[in-house]
Amino acid sequence: MTTSQQSDDNVQPSTEAEGQPVMEQAAAAEAPTPAAPAPKPAAVPSPAAMPRPAAATAAATGVVAPPAFSTPLEEAAKHSRVSEDGHVFVIIDGTEHPVGQYPDAGPEEALAYFVRKHDDVVSQLMLLEQRVEAKAPSSDMAKTLDHLAATVAERTMVGDLPALEARIEAARAAVSALSAAERQALEALRATELAAREAIVVEAEALAAQDTSVIQWKQGSARMNELFEAWKAAQKHGVRLGRSNEDNLWKRFRGARTTFDRHRRAYFSQLDAANAEAKSSKEALIARAEELSHSTDWGATAGEYRRLMEEWKLSKRASRKDDDALWARFRAAQDVFFAARTAENDAIDEEFGANLIVKDALLLEAKALLPITNLAAAKKALDSIRDRWESAGKVPRGDMQRVEAGLRQVEEAVRSAEDEAWQRSNPETKARTNSMLTQLEDAIAELEADLDKARAKGVESKIRSAEEALEARRAWLETLRKSAADFQ
- In tens, the pLDDT along 301-356 reads 888 888 888 888 888 877 777 888 888 988 898 888 888 888 877 777 777 888 88
Task: Categorize the per-residue pLDDT at 7 as very low, low, confident or very high, splitting at 50, 70 and 90.
Answer: very low
Each domain of the chain, given as residue ranges in start order, spans 3-159, 186-260, 271-337, 353-415, 427-487
The residue among 59 and 165 whose pLDDT is bigger is 165
Half-sphere exposure of 25 (CA within 13 A, CB side): 28
Question: What confidence category does residue 425 fall into, taking pLDDT thresholds of 50, 70 and 90?
Answer: low
State pLDDT tens for residues 137-166: 888 889 999 999 999 999 999 999 999 999
What's the rounded mean pLDDT across residues 12-33?
35
Q: For residue 181, name the pLDDT band (cuts at 50, 70, 90).
A: confident
- Predicted local confidence at residue 70, as pLDDT: 83
What is the full DSSP assignment across 355-419? HHHHHHHHHHHHHTTPSPS-HHHHHHHHHHHHHHHHHH----HHHHHHHHHHHHHHHHHHHHHHH
pTM listed for this prediction: 0.38
Query: What average pLDDT is seen over the chain?
Result: 78
pLDDT at 169 over 90: yes
- Rounded CA-CA distance 355/393 in Å is 6
Inter-residue contact 99 to 113 (CB < 8 Å): no
For 88, the enclosing helix (H) or strand (E) is strand 87-92
Please, what is the end-to-end C-alpha distance for the chain in angstroms? Answer: 120
What pLDDT does 24 receive? Answer: 33
Query: E strand or H helix at 104, and its extent?
Result: none
The pLDDT assigned to 127 comes to 92
Residue 17 is predicted with a pLDDT of: 36
The most confident of the ranges 80-89, 313-322, 450-459 is 80-89
The answer to whether residue 26 scores a pLDDT higher than 50 is no
Closest CA relative to residue 400, chosen from 347, 370, 363: 363
pLDDT above 60 (res 110): yes
Residue 167 pLDDT level (bands cut at 50, 70, 90): very high
Per-residue pLDDT, 62: 59
